[in-house]
Amino acid sequence: MRSLFEPRAIAVIGASGNPEKIGYRIVENIVRSGYGGGVFPINPRGGEILGLKAYADLSDVEEEIDVAVIVIPAGAVLSAVEACGAARVKHLVVITSGFSEVGDLETERRIVRTAREHGMRVLGPNIFGIYSAASSLDATFGPGGITPGPVAIITQSGALGIAMIGKTATESVGLSALVSVGNKSDVDEADLLEYLASDERTRAILMYVEGVKDGERLQGTLAEVTRHKPVVVIKAGRSKRGSMAAASHTGSLAGADEVFDSVMRQAGVLRAESVQEAFSWVRYLASTPLPPGDEAVIVTNGGGIGVMATDACEKHGVLLYDDQAVLADTFSGVMPDFGSSKNPVDLTGQATAEDYARSLDAVLAEGRMHAAIALYCETALFDTGRFADLLRDVYARYRDRKPIVFSLFGGERIDAVIRDLRGEGIPVFGDVYEAVSALGALYRVRRRIREAPEEAEPIDLPIDEIRAVLRGARDGGRAFLLAPEAARVAAHLGLDMPRSIVARNLDEAVGAAGEIGYPVVMKIVSKDIVHKSDAGGVALDLENEEEIVDAYQAILRSCRAHVPDAAIEGVEVVEMVRSGVETIVGARQDPSFGPVVMFGLGGIYVEVMKDVSFRAAPIGRSTARAMISDLRSYPLLLGVRGESRKDIDAIAAVVSKLSHLIDRCREIADIEVNPLIVYDHGEGTRTVDMRILIKQPKGGERT
């Protein structure tokens, strides 16, 4: 990727002398941005474009070209790609639209195939270009005038990307790179991230994503990059639902967005709700040192905004310093008499600008206080000009050592101060929540950088034996496992399933119940009936022979009525499991991210509240525990209202096993343990039912 960002020479195929054309704008931006390498406009008419010699044909250029920007009509692109291949170009930046985004996948594929045959990579098509501060290169058709700086932006939306150039100017955000990925026919975010991770100029990365193609690779790359640099993502399309909605809980709950959200969090990526929030975060993250410790102090001249900031700190995971003796000592002599040294430190409306600056200084000079949240409500006592100078001074002295966020609130004069200070790159916000959210993002980055990578836990699964069971089902023409087959897989996984015997007639059912011991459950066994309860194929809590007889007949009657042609193999008589907390563990092949695992509490928690969490598989037990604790209903597992704590470690073991299974057996489409009954701490779990769907025909198996 280095030669894409730092090319020695660049050609523009479709360069034009007509200022109305994109081919003109691109050459103009390249020239104006101060790019030091060779620039070769290609135009059939030859001549001169913007003072540069134009070549009628790429083959006329003698210098080695690293990047060819292609900006000619779609129908001519493929032959231009061939010409680039012959000229040993390294990267193609295909601006042209009119390929897969309008349904022409075939030409796009041919472009990529031809390029790859010649060892070239393709950025685009359907993009606005690339800006790289490393080589002062603006090869976009944006408005120009990009200020170099520490933020890299990767965007899938062209229009939003171009608009971001203007936004970066008004927000004083300097860019290290701006890359439009468009249709992502070849080069995608993961490729670009690998370069940006090692680029010293880049201190924070912002990605705008619409759809993910190779999510497994993206997740792996992001997980690596975020250990060194912050990555903020904005993703559109929160409401899309997964395609296997009806097949399972995991499927219906694994809406594209829920999985995206969890996987991004797992990879240490910060997801912003809006473009504004994303900008605010990257701007702050790129220019602020990590806090040396966990505890922040709020300094305010207004009680109300102090309370608001305290709420925001709780929401964004910012801890407040609360050693009262140290606080009293720190602020004695620097704050007015009526003030309160409790955090939030309230200087009151009586404070002068000097009191304010001295108090802020006291926080920042104190080694036990690690970050400052400076809030100010406009008062008549302050000379705003002098106040702004004091803030500048404090910021200049501590900017490299400790994080500070300023939030100023008032009328026109304060708005002018905010504008001026922001323009100078000082982190001043008009809104308290926005200020604390930026500091919260910085704390999340700190936690991510400091957290130890999860140790790979060796997990020994009898994959060959499990595959043999899956093969049996597939050979039988089924896309799902029958209960006894699923039970065999469960046994191989070491999941504790209730005892069960398949009975082919009533006599055998009675015998089986006697052998297992009452009470028992009875379930229909038929490859034609997947949703057993819906078909009336399940009877619970059967206490004696008489109840077995009644239930047996009722099950058969109901199933025949429900699915008249169903081939019924018999009924399964199962040990009735003692009650506990019902949970669901699922795993599936996600269309974007590959193998993912899900956990949720059963009943209304899953059905109504959709309270589930996901991770990209495989995961070890500690990640599984973190995933379990993500649930809103987690306190139920910890034990509420006198209930005892449940066996969370045992759940984590099941989640981890399923995650490894779905990762290693890619032929499994979807697997669900539902319910997994959880008992008190130390008493384990029972797998009451397990359903496995397999891919037909053969999926990519991994050994």
17 vs 292, which CB is nearer to ligand COA? 17
For residues 259 and 593, the answer to whether their CB atoms sit within 8 Å is yes
Residue 18 makes contact with ligand COA by CB under 6 A? yes
Q: How far apart are CA 254 and CA 692, in angstroms?
A: 16
For residues 671 and 486, the answer to whether their CB atoms sit within 8 Å is no
* Residue sitting closest to ligand COA (CB): 158
Instruction: Name the one range near ligand COA by CB under 6 A: 95-103, 166-174, 267-275, 587-595.
Output: 95-103
Q: Smallest distance from the beta carbon of 191 to ligand COA, in angstroms?
A: 19
Q: Which of 515, 518, 525 is nearest to 543 (CA)?
A: 518
Report the residue from 6, 8, 9, 21 that binds ligand COA according to the rule CB under 6 A: 21
Say which residue the tokens 């302050």 belong to: 382
For residues 117 and 17, the answer to whether their CB atoms sit within 8 Å is no
Cβ atoms within 10 A of the Cβ of 378, count? 19
Q: Which amino acid is at 12?
A: V
Instruction: Name the one range near ligand COA by CB under 6 A: 66-74, 146-154, 534-542, 625-633.
Output: 66-74
Say which residue the tokens 């209960």 belong to: 483
Report the residue from 72, 225, 357, 655 that binds ligand COA according to the rule CB under 6 A: 72
Q: How far apart are CA 439 and CA 174, in angstroms?
A: 20
Report the residue from 69, 71, 362, 655 that binds ligand COA according to the rule CB under 6 A: 71
Q: How far apart are CA 334 and CA 330, in angstroms?
A: 8
For the chain, first and last CA: distance in Å? 32
Instruction: Name the one range near ligand COA by CB under 6 A: 94-102, 211-219, 229-237, 332-340.
Output: 94-102
* CA 455 to each of CA 48, 354, 393: distance values in angstroms, whole numbers, following the listed order: 60, 51, 45
Alpha helices (H) along 171-323: 189-198, 215-225, 249-253, 256-266, 275-287, 303-315
Chain residues 128-187 in contact with ligand COA, contact rule CB under 6 A: 128, 158, 180
Report the residue from 2, 3, 32, 76 that binds ligand COA according to the rule CB under 6 A: 76
55 vs 443, which CB is nearer to ligand COA? 55
Report the residue from 80, 305, 509, 525 that binds ligand COA according to the rule CB under 6 A: 80
Alpha helices (H) along 267-398: 275-287, 303-315, 324-331, 353-365, 384-398
Say which residue the tokens 């077995």 belong to: 548
Q: Smallest distance from the beta carbon of 182 to ligand COA, in angstroms?
A: 6
Instruction: Name the one range near ligand COA by CB under 6 A: 96-104, 266-274, 424-432, 492-500.
Output: 96-104
Report the residue from 2, 32, 44, 517 that binds ligand COA according to the rule CB under 6 A: 44
Query: Total binding residues for ligand COA by CB under 6 A?
Result: 27
Instruction: Name the one range near ligand COA by CB under 6 A: 65-73, 214-222, 444-452, 657-665.
Output: 65-73
4 vs 445, which CB is nearer to ligand COA? 4
E strands in 549-605: 568-575, 581-590, 594-601
Rg (CA), the chain: 31
**3-state class (DSSP) for residue 260:** helix
Q: Which of 354, 372, 356, 355 is nearest to 364 (CA)?
A: 372
Largest CA distance in the chain: 99
Report the residue from 4, 13, 178, 587 that binds ligand COA according to the rule CB under 6 A: 13
96 vs 656, which CB is nearer to ligand COA? 96
Report the residue from 4, 11, 26, 42 that binds ligand COA according to the rule CB under 6 A: 42
Report the residue from 5, 10, 23, 91 that binds ligand COA according to the rule CB under 6 A: 23
Chain residues 364-393 in contact with ligand COA, contact rule CB under 6 A: none
Instruction: Name the one range near ligand COA by CB under 6 A: 21-29, 84-92, 329-337, 642-650.
Output: 21-29
Report the residue from 29, 33, 96, 114 that binds ligand COA according to the rule CB under 6 A: 96
Instruction: Name the one range near ligand COA by CB under 6 A: 36-44, 198-206, 353-361, 506-514.
Output: 36-44
Report the residue from 34, 73, 304, 317 that binds ligand COA according to the rule CB under 6 A: 73
Contacts of 390 (CB under 8 A, 6+ apart): 353, 354, 356, 357
Q: Which of 161, 139, 403 is nearest to 289 (CA)?
A: 403
Contacts of 693 (CB under 8 A, 6+ apart): 247, 248, 479, 480, 668, 669, 670, 671
Instruction: Name the one range near ligand COA by CB under 6 A: 28-36, 120-128, 321-329, 450-458.
Output: 120-128
Residue 127 makes contact with ligand COA by CB under 6 A? yes
21 vs 666, which CB is nearer to ligand COA? 21
Cis peptide before 73 (omega within 30 of 0): no
Residues that bind ligand COA (CB under 6 A): 13-14, 16-18, 21-23, 42-45, 71-74, 76, 80, 95-98, 126-128, 158, 180
